[in-house]
Amino acid sequence: MYSFNYRRVSSVDEAVAALGKAEDGKLMAGGMTLLPTMKQRLAQPSDLIDLSGVGALAGIKREGNRIVIGAMTRHADVADSAEVRSAIPALAHLAGRIGDPQVRNRGTIGGSIANADPAADYPAAVVGLGATVHTNQREIAGDDFFTGMFDTALEDGEIITAVSFPVPEKAAYVKFPNPASRYAVVGVMVARTGGGVRVAVTGAGPSVFRVPAMEAALAKSFSAAALDGITVAADDLNTDIHASAEYRAHLVGVMAARAVAAAG
Amino acid sequence: MADTGIGAAVRRTEDLRFLTGKGRYTDDINRPGQLYAYILRSSVPHATIRSIDTAAAVAAPGVVAVYTGADMAGAGVNGLPCGWQVHSKDGEPMKEPAHPPLAVGKVRHVGDPVAVVIAESYAQAREAADAIALDLEELPAVADTRAASASGAPQLFDEVPGNLCYDWEIGDKAVNDAAFAKAAHVAKLDLVNNRLVPNAMEPRCYIGDYDPTRGEYTLYTSTQNPHVIRLLMGAFVLGIPENKLRVVGPDVGGGFGSKIYHYAEEAIVTWSAGQLGRAVKWTAERSESFMSDAHGRDHVTHVELALDADGVFLAMRVSTLANMGAYLSTFAPCVPTYLYATLLAGCYRTPTVYCNVKAVFTNTVPVDAYRGAGRPEATYLIERIVDVAADETGIDPAELRRRNFIPKDAFPYQTPVALVYDIGDYDQTLDAALAAIDYQGFEARRAEAAKRGRYRGIGISTYIEACGIAPSNVVGSLGARAGLYEAAQVRVHPTGSVSVYTGSHSHGQGHETTFAQLVSDTFGIPFESVEIVHGDTDKVLFGMGTYGSRSLAVGGTAIVKAMNKVIEKARKAAAHILEASEADVEFADGQFRVKGTDRAMSFGEVALAAYVPHKYPLDELEPGLDETAFYDPKNFTFPAGCHVAEVEIDPDTGVVTLVNFAAADDVGRVINPMIVEGQVHGGVAQGVGQALLESCVYDAQGQLVTGSYMDYCMPRADNLPPVSVSTHVTLCPHNDLGVKGCGEVGAIGSPPAVMNAVVDALSALGVKHVEMPATPQRVWQAIRDAKGAAAA
Amino acid sequence: MSVRVTMTLNGKEVSAEVEDRTLLVSMLREKLGMTGTHVGCDTSQCGACVVHVDGRSVKSCTVLAAQCDGASVTTIEGLAKGNTLHPMQEAFRDNHGLQCGFCTPGMVMSALDLVARNPDPSEHEIREWLEGNLCRCTGYHNIVKSIKAGAQAMRGGK
Q: Which tens digits make up the pLDDT trace of A1-56?
A: 999 999 999 999 999 999 999 999 999 999 999 999 999 999 999 999 999 999 99
A60-69, B138-147, B467-476, B764-773: the lowest-pLDDT one: B467-476
Which of C21, C126, C134 has the highest number of chain A CBs within 10 A, making it the mutation to test binding with A? Answer: C21
Q: Give chain A's domains with CATH numbers.
A: 5-51 (3.30.43.10), 58-166 (3.30.465.10), 170-263 (3.30.390.50)
How large is the average pLDDT for residues B559-563? 98
* Domain-located, residue C26: yes
Q: Give chain B's domains with CATH numbers.
A: 18-139+201-254+259-292 (3.90.1170.50), 299-469+635-791 (3.30.365.10), 485-631 (3.30.365.10)
Q: Is residue C140 located within the same domain as residue C112?
A: yes
Asked whether the CA dihedral C115, C118, C122, C123 is positive or negative, the reply is negative
> C66: which chain A residues are within 8 Å (Cβ-Cβ)?
6, 8, 50
Residue B95 clears pLDDT 80, i.e. is over it: yes
Percent of chain A with pLDDT over 70: 100
Partnered with residue B371 across adjacent β-strands are none
Q: Is residue C112 located within the same domain as residue C150?
A: yes
Q: Treating both helix axes as pointing N-terminal to C-terminal, what angle do B397-404 and B426-437 enclose, rounded to 10 degrees?
A: 170
What average pLDDT does the structure give for chain B? 97
Q: Is residue C62 located within the same domain as residue C6?
A: yes
> B127: which chain A residues are within 8 Å (Cβ-Cβ)?
2
pLDDT classification of B91: cutoffs 50, 70, 90: very high
What was the pLDDT predicted at A195?
Answer: 86
How large is the average pLDDT for residues B266-293? 98
By residue range, what is the domain housing residue C17? 2-77
- Rounded to whole angstroms, what are the CA distances from B398 to B387, B645, B750? 9, 13, 16
Which of C27, C43, C44 has the highest number of chain A CBs within 10 A, making it the mutation to test binding with A? Answer: C44
- Give the integer Cα–Cα distance in Å for B691 and A38: 34
Structural domain ending residue among the three candidates C77, C100, C115 = C77
Residue B86 clears pLDDT 90, i.e. is over it: yes
Partnered with residue A108 across adjacent β-strands are A74
Q: Is residue C103 located within the same domain as residue C43?
A: no
- Give the integer Cα–Cα distance in Å for B613 and B623: 6
Partnered with residue A152 across adjacent β-strands are A146
Residue C157 clears pLDDT 80, i.e. is over it: no
Residue B181 clears pLDDT 60, i.e. is over it: yes
> B710: which chain A residues are within 8 Å (Cβ-Cβ)?
180-181
Count of A-C CB contacts under 8 Å: 84
- Give the integer Cα–Cα distance in Å for B196 and B688: 12
The answer to whether the CB atoms of B202 and C143 lie below 8 A apart is no
What was the pLDDT predicted at C126?
Answer: 98
Q: H or E segment at B193?
A: strand B185-193
Percent of chain B with pLDDT over 90: 98
Q: Which CATH number fits the domain that encloses residue C68?
A: 3.10.20.30
The answer to whether the CB atoms of C42 and B681 lie below 8 A apart is no
Q: H or E segment at B617?
A: none
Å between C87 CA and nearest CA of chain A: 22
- Give the integer Cα–Cα distance in Å for B638 and B643: 16
What residues contact residue B474 under an 8 Å CB cut-off, 6+ apart? none
How large is the average pLDDT for residues B163-168? 98
Q: Is residue C69 located within the same domain as residue C99?
A: no
The answer to whether the CB atoms of B711 and A247 lie below 8 A apart is no
Of C46, C94, C141, the CB nearest to B11: C94
Residue C158 clears pLDDT 60, i.e. is over it: no
Q: What is the DSSP letter of B341?
A: G
How large is the average pLDDT for residues A129-155? 97
- Give the integer Cα–Cα distance in Å for C90 and C110: 15
Q: Is residue C102 located within the same domain as residue C66?
A: no
* Domain-located, residue C82: no
Residue C124 clears pLDDT 70, i.e. is over it: yes
B134-148, B384-398, B473-487, C44-58: the lowest-pLDDT one: B473-487
Query: pLDDT digits over B667-690, tens only?
Result: 999 999 999 999 999 999 999 999
What average pLDDT does the structure give for chain A? 97
CA atoms within 13 A on the CB side of B78: 14
Contact B131, B79 (CB under 8 A): no
Q: Is residue C73 located within the same domain as residue C107?
A: no
Burial letters for A228-243: b for 16+ Cβ neighbours within 10 Å, e otherwise? eebebebeebbeebbb
* ipTM (interface predicted TM): 0.98
Which of A41, A97, A102, A182 has the highest number of chain C CBs within 10 A, making it the mutation to test binding with C? Answer: A102
What was the pLDDT predicted at A194?
Answer: 86
Query: pLDDT digits over C34-81, tens only?
Result: 999 999 999 999 999 999 999 999 999 999 999 999 999 999 999 999
How many domains, chain C?
Answer: 2
What was the pLDDT predicted at B789?
Answer: 86
* Domain-located, residue C49: yes
> C38: which chain B residues are within 8 Å (Cβ-Cβ)?
25, 27, 201-202, 253
The answer to whether the CB atoms of C62 and A8 lie below 8 A apart is no
The answer to whether the CB atoms of C133 and B23 lie below 8 A apart is no
How large is the average pLDDT for residues B348-375? 98
Structural domain ending residue among the three candidates C77, C100, C119 = C77
Query: pLDDT digits over B783-792, tens only?
Result: 999 999 888 7
Nearest CA-CA partner of B688 in B661, B665, B666: B661
* Chain C residue with Cα closest to B725: C141
- Give the integer Cα–Cα distance in Å for A115 and A94: 17
Q: Is residue C67 located within the same domain as residue C92?
A: no
* Domain-located, residue C101: yes
Q: Treating both helix axes as pointing N-terminal to C-terminal, what angle do B375-393 and B397-404 enclose, rounded to 10 degrees?
A: 110
Of B653, B705, B714, the CB nearest to A251: B653
Q: Is residue C15 located within the same domain as residue C63?
A: yes
Residue B451 clears pLDDT 50, i.e. is over it: yes
Contact B656, B766 (CB under 8 A): no
Nearest CA-CA partner of B250 in B431, B31, B46, B48: B31
Q: Is residue C35 located within the same domain as residue C67?
A: yes
The answer to whether the CB atoms of B777 and A176 lie below 8 A apart is no
The answer to whether the CB atoms of A181 and B710 lie below 8 A apart is yes
Query: pLDDT digits over B199-208, tens only?
Result: 999 999 999 9
The answer to whether the CB atoms of A103 and C132 lie below 8 A apart is yes
> B18: which chain C residues are within 8 Å (Cβ-Cβ)?
98, 100-101, 104
B409-418, B466-475, C111-120: the lowest-pLDDT one: B466-475
* Domain-located, residue C20: yes
- Give the DSSP letter string of B433-469: HHHHHTSTTHHHHHHHHHHTT-EEEEEEEEEE--BS-
Q: Is residue C7 located within the same domain as residue C73?
A: yes
Q: Is residue C7 located within the same domain as residue C39?
A: yes
Structural domain ending residue among the three candidates C77, C101, C127 = C77
> A181: which chain C residues are within 8 Å (Cβ-Cβ)?
45
* Domain-located, residue C56: yes
Q: Which CATH number fits the domain that encloses residue C114?
A: 1.10.150.120
- Give the integer Cα–Cα distance in Å for B591 and B600: 6
What was the pLDDT predicted at B1?
Answer: 43
